[in-house]
Structure formats: C-alpha cells, structure tokens
Structure 1
C-alpha cells in the first residue's frame, strides 16, 4: 500500500518539504471488520480536526435532518463558512446532503459513523495494549532500536 511520497522524492511544486508525507510502515497492522481503511480514516480524522465542524455535527445529530440555515442560526459563523465546513464533512462521508429547492438539508451518515467507531475502538484498543506492555522509566518509554516492548 503506497500512501505517501518517499522522503527522498523531490517536492511537488508549491509544497514545502515540511508538508511532505513519509511512508507509514505498520508491521502486522490489521483492521477491524467493517472499519474504515487507513486512508479513509485519516481523511475522516482530518475533517474532524476543526472545532467548527465538530459543532456542526453536534447541531445535525439531534435532528433527523438539518437545514443549512438552522445550523447557521445555531452557530456564531457566517453562512459561507458553515457551507465550506459542511462540504468538507460531506467529502469525508460524515454527512449526506440533499438539495430541495433553495434549501440544503444534511444528515449524519450512520454507516460512516459506525465504521469510524469500529476503526477507533480497534486502533486505540491496540495502542492501549501496546502501551501497557511498554516498560515506563521516568516519564517516557525506553526501548532500544530493534527491541520490542515486553
């Protein structure tokens, strides 16, 4: 699975070196059945990485479907800003949208949320088990190169 640019590849025009991706190698990595794959999971996390988008999801959640105008009224954001955030959430698959006349209505995509929950439980469960196995010395975990936590 090639998900990133190798570190020695030339930078794409306009992309600073600091923003270049590096290959991710996960030995023995696996995914929970029905969970999002790593690329999709990263895209969903990126979409969730802004407080306004979290607030928008909280506004949509209690409703069967929410009109963009309802969301704008509930948040201290301009309509254009809310629309941009809604598009990002839509692109990530977290919400679905329908246009009815001049209004856009949005719903939480339950399938994506369920898959996200499974992926997070699997990922963070594995990380917690790994952390439990690591010997903690002082404030950090010390493992020499080539060794594994035991």
Structure 2
C-alpha cells in the first residue's frame, strides 16, 4: 500500500549545466552577423583612388568628412550623420560645424571618376569657409595594408 508513510526518492542535484541552448543561440547570432556584416556599407558609395601614403592620426577627434560621389553630389558627414548638400550651401554648413569646434579635422573623399576641377572647386569652397588644412582620403593599393 502506498500510504502517507511512503517515502519518495529525492533526486540529487545535477552538477552539470546544459549548454546546448546557449550554443544554439550563439550559432543563430553568428549567422545573422555573417549575413548582415557585408550589408553595412558606411557612407556614400565612393570609389577612392589607390595610392601609397602614411595614414593620418585622427584618433583624438572625429573628422568632418566631405564626400563627392560618382555623380558629383556632395555629402557632409560628422560621425554617423551624413547629409547631402549643394555646393553653394556647403561652405556655410562647414563654417557652422567648425564654429562649434575649430580643431575638427576636415577630410575630402572624392570618387576617382570625378573631374579634378570639381575637387579643386570643393577645396576652394572649404578654404573660403575658414578651413586651413584639408586632408584627402584614399585607399591603399590592393596588395598593401
């Protein structure tokens, strides 16, 4: 008979952790990041010229980047904000951004297929807005890093 005097066997606590659900979640996250990483194309699609040069150290402050894409459109980006802008408004916007912090480095990203005159016009506009030093962004040749 099974009465109130019957003692159940107690289970011993298990000293192992089941890591299978953790591994499943990690594999799913790995697949998601592998798929989305190539899609994270930051900035304007610009095909930079490839030249050998020493990198400029801009770690102390994030630079103001002015880009010219293949179609000749201008973009201003400071950090993650990227806004298209017309050339006649570009000088005023750069001057306003530099008035907040005058030590902000200014860099130009120009597509290799853009006419040289357009880059010179951009640099002249930047100079007219009070930028004394302009850096040019390029990519290292295919075999170098």
Please indicate, yes or no, whether the TM-score normalized by the shorter chain is above 0.5: no
Q: What is the TM-score of this pair, normalised by structure 1? A: 0.21
TM-score of the superposed pair, with normalisation by structure 2: 0.22
Give 1 or 2: higher helix fraction. 1
**Structure number, greater radius of gyration:** 2
